[in-house]
Chains A and B, each alone.
Chain A
Amino acid sequence: GNSVTQMEGPVTLSEEAFLTINCTYTATGYPSLFWYVQYPGEGLQLLLKATKADDKGSNKGFEATYRKETTSFHLEKGSVQVSDSAVYFCALSAGGSNYKLTFGKGTLLTVNP
């Protein structure tokens, strides 16, 4: 079956530091890959996505590239801000119009001023 493994947290960084949260997946076929973010007290929001190999998703300074050869979708940001403090979830769907998502366990990021 499908599975997502992401870096265990928590991750604590200082403002303006470089962020990487690793995510690897196992899936049959060609899944779509997502990063969702959950701010304290709120529901999940889509941060970025990629639907095919070598696609790069980007939003709010975050980037992730769909690497089929390494089955990875690592999240990066060059300079984090305090407001980026949240839980980040890597997820995949089986592709096409199948919206059933398989999530990783989530990584708590805390950015200190």
Chain B
Amino acid sequence: GAVVSQHPSRVICKSGTSVKIECRSLDFQATTMFWYRQFPKQSLMLMATSNEGSKATYEQGVEKDKFLINHASLTLSTLTVTSAHPEDSSFYICSANPPVDTGELFFGEGSRLTVL
């Protein structure tokens, strides 16, 4: 099946710094990617829909200035957590839909962010 890769898998940063997480579709082009956040023992919460070449669409309650999303190419979307705080510590997962409508999303391995 299609492969989606995230980097880094784990990152630790100091409070106030910014962190960038990359999501790549390795063997297909994805016009749309999705970013989710997973809290401990909670479900995945959709944060935003990333559209290649246009602005991301954010879900209600997600701060667009806090979580910057850039989908500069058909194989890469980035999530930047700006001025990170300890409450931003979480597991961030991206997914992408393949160009052929199979009804299946492909997920990255996830990135665990810890803000000290």
| Chain A residues packing against B (C-beta within 8 Å) | 4, 32, 36, 42-46, 49, 51, 89, 93, 97, 99-106
Contact = CB atoms under 8 A, between A and B. Distances in A.
27 contacts: A32-B103, A36-B107, A43-B4, A43-B6, A43-B93, A43-B108, A43-B109, A44-B44, A44-B95, A44-B107, A45-B107, A46-B104, A46-B105, A89-B43, A93-B103, A97-B101, A99-B32, A100-B34, A100-B46, A101-B34, A101-B46, A101-B95, A103-B44, A104-B43, A105-B43, A106-B41, A106-B43
B25 interface: no
B49 interface: yes
Contact of A99 (B4, B42, B97): B97
Contacts of A43: 4, 6, 93, 107-110
Contacts, number: 49
Given A42-B109, A43-B108, A103 B43 contact: yes
A103 B44 CA distance: 6
Nearest to B49: A100
B60 to A, nearest CB: 10
Contacts of A104: 43
